[in-house]
A and B are shown apart, each in its own frame.
Chain A
Amino acid sequence: MKSIVLLLVLLIVYSSFGGTIKFAPLPTQPKEELIGGHLPLIRYLEQKTSLDFEIVYIEDYSKLLEEFKKGGVDIIIAGPIPYLELKSSFSEAKAILFLREKDGNTSYSCVLITAMDGPLSIKEIKGPVALPQRLSTCGYFSANILLSSEGKDINKLGYKHFSTHNQAIEAVIRGEYQVGSIKKSIAKEYEGFRIRILKESPKWSAFSMIVNSRTLNPEAINRIKTSLLSVTEKELKELVVGKFGFAECKEEDFEIIKKYEKYKAK
């Protein structure tokens, strides 16, 4: 009897802290960069919240979101499209924080890029488009918006999804694709290859930290949120992902995406 009680107490104590929190970064970059970039953040959270974290790498967006719904992932960092996609079928997904961009803002844009010897304008695009993963905001969604604005139909041009934004832009640099649609901040990393931006999308809500409120209790969520909102300048210097800081996040911030609902991939 006593052992059963003890076991129950332990379970309660354990469950109140959620066990090891599974953190899955969105696969926008090469694996080592992605994981390497998130590790400092994980360390910071472990230190501040006294909770245990584990990075889970899932290469495919869809699989990642599925895993999230199943409860195999507790936190992801994702753009607005994956978030809304998730939320539409899983109400327990909650965006708690934005990750600020380099300019300090809580929004970012996507760009249509081409190599130096690529088309001079969208109108000249003939070939397929290199895109990151299907659910990426800078993927089909933004590319569709940008191409449509110049009368181009992405479905007619064709497109290919790559695992990461980097792979998509590198395919363009290599000349395998005329254009690609990727996050502007990532495109900037390739300025040294003399890429050209053909068009820039509206500002979308920044990447947010999305928690699984089914698997994480409010106490844990609150601790995570508080610790990230209270990060100091010195502590930010140690981070890679999140190095520009964090900001509060509300559902209204995602309204802009909803306006472009029709451009989403079917």
Chain B
Amino acid sequence: MKSIKPSKHVIKYIVISLLLFSVLLGIGIAFLNHLCEKSVESNLEKATKITRAMWNTTTVANFETMQAYYKYYIMDDKVLEFLKMANSMDEESQKIARLKLFRYLWDKYSYLRENLHIRQLHFILPDNRSFLRFHPPSKYGDDLGSYRPSIMEVNRKRKPYIGFEIGRLVSGYRYIFPIFDREGNYLGCVELSRGFETIRKNLNEVDKEAGYIIFLRKSEIDKKIMKEYRDFYVNINGLDGWVVEDPYIKLPDYTKPLPPEYDKVLKSAIKSEEFREMMDSKESYSIALEYMSKYYKITGLKIFEPGKEYHSAVLIAVYPAPDIMLSKVSFNNYKFIYIVMVGIISIYTFLYLLKVYSIRLKNKEIEAITSSMGIGLLVLNSNGVVKYVNRAALDLLGYSEREILGSSLHSLIHSHAGPEEGCPILKAVKFQSVYCADNKFKRKDSSYIDVSVDVRPIVLEGNNVGSIVVFSDISQRKEIENKLFDMATKDSLTGLCNRRFQVEAIKKSKERADRYGIPFSVLMIDIDNFKSINDRFGHNTGDKVLIGVSNVISQSVRSADTLSRWGGEEFLVLLVNTDIEGAVVLAERIRKKVAKLKIEGIPQVTVSIGVAQYIPGESIDNLISRVDNGLYDAKRSGKNRVVRVDI
């Protein structure tokens, strides 16, 4: 069985449609993806802002509270006194000061620890040495210069500092205040700090849905944390360079782990390049993550320690993100709808192209048919403007397609027939009628061509959309017709109309004379001695005489008059609208002109003329007979004269 191969055009249209589909799909999907990304980006930006605001609220906003604790709880004259002692160079005095300070503030510290979750109360001397830690008091005297830039900053600038910092023992949020005695002498600074767990609790009080954890830069931990505390910081699987504090819950104020769901989400996120990039970036921003068909937002808020260009810690906030889910679902829906639409458009385009192709093919067929037609074909719109012209028409009219299309047919080729209003072709177009007749069309070279025109209306679904004009060149036929007409109505030698034609002309004049009283007259002109001219000079000369005399007569009469060769050497002139007086005058003129006619070899040619006016009611035969009598009289009376036949 022969397989049917689609034509190359069909394949081409399939390809075009597929290309269109692909391009539209690509652009549309890319745009929708872009919009979706923007929507998600905006969402994530908001998440970052919220996390930052919450962190600031929880930490920075507590500054005044901490300052109040510092001012009213801690700083009093006794403490200042002890710190003055601590600043002395005497080691023993320092020991005493340490003991006294420890004793004096222990209850307050206990209260702060139990009720206000202050993890550490720490006094530092102006030279950055640790003077007294309340947690644990056995660690003191170490130089914090290299490890605690915040302390160095406070000691240098003597202004309070707040911020998250990795310490020598544990990490936390620090509120460090400079201490001045009453005289304004600088005695060092005091640090109140809170562990991350306290901050996390505060964060969750504001946002119960989120999970918080803090990741710390391993290099900072290795640099700062005392050896016996270093193992509380555990590497994060899959995230080199970062550690988390006490994930195995060993410390008393351990940071609670993330809820299991968020823990899994975070573990999944850690595997992604996007998360790692976020961790490395100095900018705080959020990413979206899909896990188990749900969306989550993960914010990485970067925490910088003073004097460092890189962040030492990252607060990770994990939130469920149903809004992103909704966004993605919505955009997926839009994409689906769009794909369907593009599919429909592409299919429609394909079908349209096929249709166009089929129409074009049909047009070409028509074109081929009309082009091979031997007759001219024009399609006009309802205003008579040419919408289509075939090859044959162009050839017949001598115009190019460009010259004829869009032009008014009448003004181009039929204006010679009169104004548009009177043009039968335009009338047929306008009134949707049929018109068939012979016409003359004007060619481009201003010559005329006889055509047989057939105008038919084109009606499409009840509407007149124009007309079709078919015309054929009838020049040859016309020529033949004319020839036949001439042959039927003219004398071959002189070109004058013949007797039969003249009789018909006389009949018409007789009708007019009988009906309207319009007079007419006839002249019967005979060449004198014609037979002897023929005999003497030959028939050729005789023919020349006939032609010469007929020329003189035709030049003398009006175009409305009819001149015929009546007999061998007889001419009958019908003078319309002429009475006998006028006829005689003309006859005389003719006689004189003929007399002056020079024919080679002939000394003189003369004519005798009978003149008669039609008598209303008389028969043509009678008229002819009377004018013939007049001629006879002219001949009898000496020839070369005019004889009128009065009534």
9-residue interface stretch from B61-69, B227-235, B560-568: B227-235
- Contact yes or no, B137 A190, CB < 8 A: yes
Q: Which of B137-173 contact A (CB under 8 A)?
A: 137-138, 140-141, 169-170
Interface assignment of A160: CB less than 8 Å from any CB of chain B: no
Interface assignment of B4: CB less than 8 Å from any CB of chain A: no
- Contact yes or no, B137 A33, CB < 8 A: no
Q: Which of A195-244 contact B (CB under 8 A)?
A: 238, 240
Interface assignment of B35: CB less than 8 Å from any CB of chain A: no
Interface assignment of B106: CB less than 8 Å from any CB of chain A: yes
Q: A40-B227, A190-B138 are in contact. Are A116 and B251 (CB under 8 A)?
A: no
Q: A31-B251, A192-B95 are in contact. Are A40 and B231 (CB under 8 A)?
A: yes
- Contact yes or no, A33 B228, CB < 8 A: yes
Interface assignment of A30: CB less than 8 Å from any CB of chain B: yes
A44 smallest CB distance to B (angstroms) = 11
- Contact yes or no, B103 A175, CB < 8 A: yes
- Contact yes or no, A115 B227, CB < 8 A: no
B 485-526 to A, binary, CB cutoff 8 A, 1 in contact else 0: 000000000000000000000000000000000000000000
Q: A31-B252, A174-B102, A193-B102 are in contact. Are A36 and B92 (CB under 8 A)?
A: no
Q: A116-B96, A170-B137, A190-B138 are in contact. Are A32 and B102 (CB under 8 A)?
A: no
- Contact yes or no, A189 B229, CB < 8 A: no
Chain A residues in 8 Å Cβ range of B95: 116, 191-194
Chain B, Cβ-Cβ closest to A194 = B95
A 22-36 to B, binary, CB cutoff 8 A, 1 in contact else 0: 000000001111011
Chain B residues in 8 Å Cβ range of A57: 250
Chain A residues in 8 Å Cβ range of B96: 116, 194
Interface assignment of B329: CB less than 8 Å from any CB of chain A: no
- Contact yes or no, A39 B232, CB < 8 A: yes
Interface assignment of B136: CB less than 8 Å from any CB of chain A: yes
**Bound Cα distance A43, B248 (Å):** 15
Chain A residues in 8 Å Cβ range of B136: 30, 33, 166
**Bound Cα distance A57, B249 (Å):** 11
Chain B residues in 8 Å Cβ range of A35: 231-232, 250-251
**Bound Cα distance A244, B33 (Å):** 63
- Contact yes or no, A174 B106, CB < 8 A: yes
**Bound Cα distance A35, B248 (Å):** 11
- Contact yes or no, A39 B231, CB < 8 A: yes
Interface assignment of B99: CB less than 8 Å from any CB of chain A: yes
Interface assignment of A173: CB less than 8 Å from any CB of chain B: yes
Interface assignment of B98: CB less than 8 Å from any CB of chain A: yes
A37 smallest CB distance to B (angstroms) = 4
Contact of B137 among A37, A116, A193 (CB under 8 A): A193
- Contact yes or no, A43 B231, CB < 8 A: yes
Chain A residues in 8 Å Cβ range of B228: 33, 36-37, 240
B642 smallest CB distance to A (angstroms) = 155
Q: A32-B252, A174-B103 are in contact. Are A166 and B227 (CB under 8 A)?
A: no
Q: How many A-B residue pairs have CB under 8 A?
A: 72
Chain A residues in 8 Å Cβ range of B98: 192-194
Chain A residues in 8 Å Cβ range of B229: 32-33, 36
Chain A interface category by residue count: 20 to 34
- Contact yes or no, B230 A36, CB < 8 A: yes
Chain B residues in 8 Å Cβ range of A193: 95, 98-99, 102, 137
Chain B residues in 8 Å Cβ range of A36: 228-232, 250
Report which residue of B106, B138, B140, B251 has the largest number of chain A beta carbons within 10 angstroms of its beta carbon.
B138
Chain B residues in 8 Å Cβ range of A55: 250
B 200-232 to A, binary, CB cutoff 8 A, 1 in contact else 0: 000000000000000000000000000111111
Chain A residues in 8 Å Cβ range of B106: 174
**Bound Cα distance A40, B230 (Å):** 9
Chain A residues in 8 Å Cβ range of B103: 173-175
Chain A, Cβ-Cβ closest to B250 = A35
B101 smallest CB distance to A (angstroms) = 10
- Contact yes or no, B102 A173, CB < 8 A: yes
B457 smallest CB distance to A (angstroms) = 97
Chain B residues in 8 Å Cβ range of A40: 227, 230-231
**Bound Cα distance A43, B98 (Å):** 36
A56 smallest CB distance to B (angstroms) = 11
Chain A residues in 8 Å Cβ range of B252: 31-32
Q: Which of A146-203 contact B (CB under 8 A)?
A: 166, 170, 173-175, 186, 189-194
Chain B residues in 8 Å Cβ range of A194: 92, 95-96, 98-99
14 additional contacts (CB under 8 A) given A36-B228, A36-B230, A194-B98:
A31-B252, A32-B169, A32-B250, A33-B229, A35-B250, A36-B232, A39-B230, A170-B137, A174-B103, A190-B137, A191-B95, A192-B140, A194-B92, A194-B99
- 15 pairs from A and B in contact (CB 8 Å cutoff): A31-B252, A32-B170, A33-B228, A33-B229, A35-B231, A36-B228, A39-B232, A55-B250, A173-B137, A186-B138, A190-B137, A192-B95, A193-B98, A193-B99, A194-B99
Binding site for B on A (CB under 8 A): 30-33, 35-37, 39-40, 43, 55, 57, 115-116, 166, 170, 173-175, 186, 189-194, 238, 240
